[in-house]
Amino acid sequence: MHFEIKDSVFWVGKIDWELRKFHGEEYSAQRGSSYNSYLIKDEKTVLIDTVWAPFADEFIEQLSETVDLNSIDYIVANHGEIDHSGALAKLLERIPGKPVYCTANAVKSLKGHYHQDWNFQVVKTGHRLPLGQRELIFVEAPMLHWPDSMFCYLTKSEILFSNDAFGQHYATESIYNDLADPSELWEECIKYYANILTPFNSFVKKKIEEVVSLNLPVSMICPSHGVIWRDDPMQIVRKYQQWASDYADNQFTLIYDTMWNSTRRIAEAIADGINAADPSIKLKIHNAARSDKTAIITDIFRSKGVMVGSPTINRGILSAVGGILEQIRGLSFKKKKAASFSSYGWSGEASAIINDLLAKSGFEPLAQGPRILWYPDDNALKQCFDYGKALVKAIN
Ligand code: FEO
């Protein structure tokens, strides 16, 4: 259902209630998502972004009910990723030759995906596109979150179209931030930031400083996923400034996998020790093979320290622990502390392997965690508990 959000600017996107996994199987979208596309009607008509390819036919059919497709003068592709460009090929079959405004890098990603020589119009920061009464001002936003990403700003209406930045994978009929359930909305915002934007913290900070220094009034922020920020739109910008500054709550996360429960018992005994020494620390415990990995990453993002544990198997570590460590490596967390723990029966390489991976991922090392031979007895569990108690000083 298309609707006007302000001054002849229309939401023409698609709410995807069924989505549960995004980026293949990497990102859990338990609350679905939306692909927000916007139509600006002025003396010129502009379409900003499209939707994911499975919804291309539906998108074009509904768009043609809102506007004569031939009257679209310009298309803006703020980002080449498929969830926003997926309907572009079919749309351009209907209205061939229409100019597509995008960054130089988006020409690469769009050509790379669709192998078409569309009428690309490359823009840079500060370029303006007159629409009649208003103008669109383009702002390149490389690494928020791809090199091709771009924002655009509609003068007079004071709307920032920010593409992925400030978005959430969150399907809701209450498309405005002030109508959404705040706990759901903020949970989806931090999950999105933690899992998608963490590696680009420094770019996020610089881009926000740059946009703020332009002194453009912002009455609305329209991202390409989730809610539109119309009530105090800068609140999400302030939150991003906080998150981009190597964010951590008073939280500690333990992640492990286990074969015969030894490693699980160690994790729980360490957590008991931490809790006994400082109950104010929020503790999160995840079996990497069973917990949702998007939730694990969000908990690491919120933590000042983490411990990762595995038994030794085949001189290595369990594959679920290896998998989450690979995700952690790619996200380049900074200013967080970490240590390993492990159980073993014979050779016992797990802790050294985990320590090596944590160090390569940029974590500051904590004292080596327990390495317990076979199943932990009362003495071993006491050792784990005492380690947890002692850890509190190091993580505070
Ligand atoms: Fe929502 Fe980077 O695509």
User: Residue 39: which residues within 8 A CB-CB, separation 6 or more?
Assistant: 2, 9, 10, 12, 45, 46, 47, 48, 63, 66, 67, 72
Q: Whose CA is nearest to atom 3 of ligand 1?
A: 81
Residue 348, phi then psi, degrees to nearest 5: 75, 45
Element (H, E) at 341: strand 337-344
Phi-psi region of 212 (alpha: psi -120 to 50; beta: other; left: phi over 0): alpha
Helix 378-395 / helix 262-277 crossing angle, nearest 10 deg: 50
| Region 275-290 average pLDDT | 98
Q: Whose CA is nearest to atom 1 of ligand 1?
A: 164
The finding on whether 16 has its CB within 6 A of some atom of ligand 1 is: no
The residues of the chain that CATH labels 3.40.50.360 are 251-395
Q: Give tens-digit pLDDT for 22-71.
A: 999 999 999 999 999 999 999 999 999 999 999 999 999 999 999 999 99
| Region 235-252 average pLDDT | 97
- Give the model's pLDDT for residue 214: 87
Examine the pLDDT at 174 and tell me if it is beyond 90: no
Q: Whose CA is nearest to atom 2 of ligand 1?
A: 81
- CA torsion angle 63 64 67 71 (round to 10): 120
* Rounded distance from Cα 132 to ligand 1 centre (Å): 30
- Give the model's pLDDT for residue 1: 81
* Rounded distance from Cα 23 to ligand 1 centre (Å): 9
Model pTM greater than 0.85?
yes
Q: What end-to-end distance do the CA atoms of the chain give, in Å?
A: 50
Are 362 and 333 within 8 A, CB to CB?
Answer: yes
- Distance between CA 138 and CA 320 in Å, rounded? 43
Residue whose token pair is 């959430």 = 168
Residue type, 376: P
CB-facing half-sphere around the CA of 16: CA atoms within 13 A: 26
The finding on whether 168 has its CB within 6 A of some atom of ligand 1 is: no
Residue 18, phi then psi, degrees to nearest 5: -90, -15
Q: For residue 163, which atom of ligand 1 is closest to its CA?
A: 1
- Distance between CA 116 and CA 112 in Å, rounded? 9
- Distance between CA 344 and CA 390 in Å, rounded? 23
- Distance between CA 243 and CA 196 in Å, rounded? 12
C-beta neighbour count of 266 within 10 angstroms: 30
Examine the pLDDT at 245 and tell me if it is beyond 90: yes
Closest CA to 84 of 190, 28, 13: 13
DSSP state of 70: G
Residues designated as active site: 23, 79, 81, 83, 145, 164, 192, 225
Element (H, E) at 21: strand 21-22
How many residues does this entry show for the chain? 396
Determine the topology of domain 251-395 in CATH: Rossmann fold (3.40.50)
Residue type, 386: D
Examine the pLDDT at 320 and tell me if it is beyond 90: yes
Examine the pLDDT at 3 and tell me if it is beyond 90: yes
- Give the model's pLDDT for residue 396: 86
Q: For residue 224, which atom of ligand 1 is closest to its CA?
A: 1
* Rounded distance from Cα 80 to ligand 1 centre (Å): 8
* Rounded distance from Cα 84 to ligand 1 centre (Å): 7
The finding on whether 49 has its CB within 6 A of some atom of ligand 1 is: no
Q: Give tens-digit pLDDT for 344-375.
A: 999 999 999 999 999 999 999 999 999 999 99
Opening angle at CA 49, ends 173 and 149, nearest 5: 110
The residues of the chain that CATH labels 3.60.15.10 are 3-243
* Rounded distance from Cα 69 to ligand 1 centre (Å): 25
Residue whose token pair is 């160690």 = 266
Tell me the CATH number of domain 3-243, given options 3.40.50.920, 3.40.50.150, 3.40.50.300, 3.60.15.10. 3.60.15.10
Q: Give tens-digit pLDDT for 88-112.
A: 999 999 999 999 999 999 999 999 9
Q: For residue 35, which atom of ligand 1 is closest to its CA?
A: 1
Percent of residues, the chain, with pLDDT higher than 90: 98
Residue whose token pair is 């400083």 = 209
